[in-house]
Amino acid sequence: MKLTKFLSIAVIAIISLSLSSCNKEAEPIVLTGSWELDSTSTFLQISYNPIYAEEYPSAIQYLKDNMNKILKEIKKPDTIQFIEPNTVNFLYNPTPGTMVAGTFEQFDIYVNIYNALFPGGLTGASNNQRLEIYYSKSDMLSILYSMLTPTDDAPETFSKLIDQFDGVGVYVRAK
């Protein structure tokens, strides 16, 4: 498990425990309902392989120039709906009615989400107020590759250059 994924999940676990008192049972995590994007908390992280960093300065510049565009892709969908028993809908705006349906499996505070965009699944964690969706290196590279044009460096270049490439989409329970 990657360190950032572990730390994100550990923070949520600590928050969950701190919200419950020692004298009562922990409140069960309930995902059912709508969750709205918290765009100010959503982030991504890129670490470069120092050996290839000097060899591919144009690829590094491309990543720097397109960081906000990549981050914008993590900020989609803007709403996630969980419907019992295991249906999840990703709702996208500004195109009304754009939705990607999928399924989910919940394990205590953790959730695995599967849909056509992420058939390998996305992992998340919740404390009933916040939901954090983790995008792995392969998820982030897929987003990056979809943005590349024939005039940009080859996908293989970015694959060599990037050691760590993670993103976290943060959602709050809709009121």
Cα(124)–Cα(130) distance, rounded to whole angstroms? Answer: 10
Tell me the per-residue pLDDT of 33-77, one tens digit each, with 9 for 90 and over.
999 999 999 999 999 999 999 999 999 999 999 999 999 999 999
What pLDDT sits at residue 21? 47
Tell me the per-residue pLDDT of 103-145, one tens digit each, with 9 for 90 and over.
999 999 999 999 999 999 999 999 999 999 999 999 999 999 9
Residue 33 backbone zone (phi > 0: left; psi -120 to 50: alpha; other: beta): left
Q: Which of 13-17, 90-94, 108-112 has the lowest mean pLDDT?
A: 13-17
Q: If DSSP states are collapsed to H, E and C, what string results for the chain?
A: CCHHHHHHHHHHHHHHHHHCCCCCCCCCCCCCEEEEECCCCCEEEEEECHHHHCCCHHHHHHHHHCHHHHHHHHCCCCEEEEECCCEEEEEECCCCCEEEEEEEEEECCEEEEEECCCCCCEEEEECCCEEEEEECHHHHHHHHHHHCCCCCCCHHHHHHHEEEEEEEEEEEECC
Sign of the four-CA dihedral 128, 3, 76, 102: negative
What pLDDT sits at residue 158? 98
Which residues are paired to 46 by β-bridges?
A: 165
pLDDT band at 10 (very low <50, low <70, confident <90, very high): low
23-39 mean pLDDT: 88
